[in-house]
Structure 1
């Protein structure tokens, strides 16, 4: 669960840890990785953020190259620009975040 590290490192309260990332709530609660326990995110928040990171990674793999968009802008090709936008929206629809 390397995504755990990506998620928790975004919290200002995170101080780091040694060893393997937790895979269960029990392991997470036993982990000493927070500066202030009163600001420790709950396990469900961590899992939710991990799910968002997974979606982000899937989307990044399938988005069209930004060069396609920029090329369309430079050429004034509105059809190419719209195709880029439509392709991006299709990826977002394929991998929804839940709030979209």
Structure 2
């Protein structure tokens, strides 16, 4: 998740996504629940939100690293060139390169 979880994210999780609308910081009265869906208790929403935020905060290092890594295509091309793929994967990649040479 790229953005810090909010109130609506917590309600969404608790209702299996069976909601429409809502403000990012609540209140529950702004959320439209699908027919037959009982709105969760406020205490459940707050507990879920705390859990979502804790999980999001624990991944800060991953969000920081993501834009710093080389492009995945460059990583894969390097692995191919260094012979790090299995023989069958190397053959598949070689076929694509051979069938579509650089201009």
Which interval holds the TM-score relative to the shorter structure?
0.3 to 0.5
Which one has a bigger Cα radius of gyration? Answer: 2
- TM-score of the superposed pair, with normalisation by structure 2: 0.41
Structure with bigger strand share is 2
TM value normalised by structure 1: 0.42
